[in-house]
Amino acid sequence: MVWTWRYEKTDGTVVAPSGPLEEFAGQGDAETWIGESWKQLVEDGVDTAVLLDDDREIYSMSLHEG
C-alpha cells in the first residue's frame, strides 16, 4: 500500500504540488507530514487535501483554519 495526498481547489479542481509527490508507508506518516506542510500547501493554492490509500479515497479535509 502507498499512501499519498491529492490536492484540490474548493471547486474540486486538482492542484499540482510545488514539489515532488510525497509517498508514505502508512497513514500516520502521511498525516504527520500534512500537519507539518499544510501552510506551504495553502500558499501554493491548495484548499483541500484528500488522503489516498493507493487509489482509494480515505478522507478529505480543508486546509483553511476556522
Q: Give tens-digit pLDDT for 9-33.
A: 999 999 987 778 899 999 999 999 9
| Residues in contact with 2: Cβ distance below 8 Å, sequence separation at least 6, in sequence order | 23, 24, 25, 53, 54
pTM exceeds cut of 0.85? yes
Span 37-66, pLDDT tens digits: 999 999 999 999 999 999 999 999 999 986
SS3 7: strand
How far apart CA 18 and CA 48 sit, in angstroms, is: 15
